[in-house]
Structure 1
Amino acid sequence: MFIDAPVSTFSLRIEWPGYRLWTGKFRAKNWGGTNAPVTRARLVSQLGRRIAEFIEAMEGVECADLAWKVGSKNIKVDNLVLVSLIRVSKGSWQPVIRLLA
């Protein structure tokens, strides 16, 4: 998916209502001896892991907008679905995540 990716890692910024900006990183290439570009499946898996890390990090953190509070008794990873990935620029992708009803 990212054959022409000029970097070896991706940065993820989560701007979630009621919380401060959260950032995470993950590898853009599969380093398992092949150095092959990351696949869509691996990207989605990595995004899910980083979103889970965000929710875990925000557990117990005060949320300015209680409708968007995350954590074990609020919005969990299982309540979210990845709708699409939008290429914003050559090195920037934006995931579109939706809260399940």
Structure 2
Amino acid sequence: RPVPRIHHAPVLRVAQDDYSAYALAVMKHPDPIGEGLAMEAMVEAAGPECIVPGQQAPLRLLGLKVWPLDIEMKFLEPFGRELHSMKKFMDKSCSVMDSSMSNK
């Protein structure tokens, strides 16, 4: 599955305190590791409330947020063919029964 491309800068809201001011200063610095402000970088997964531009928005289903998934349904094709042949058989049997009832 391709990674969604971010077309514009995401909005970040942070509570204002000493730690967040330092974190924002490190984030805005052009070379924080080279200048000694940080030792390493860490990436954290976005929570369920974060919507990346280009990503599908969640659907609300029975009060729950559900993200639509792309599922390959090719594995269901044999079942569909079998159900189609059963439908033909049932239609033929119903037509035979109807014709026998109408002859009486």
Q: TM class by shorter-chain length? A: under 0.3
- Relative to its length, the structure with more strand (as a share) is 1
TM-score, normalising length: structure 2: 0.24
More helix as a share of residues: 2
* Higher Rg of the two aligned structures: 2
TM-score (norm 1): 0.24
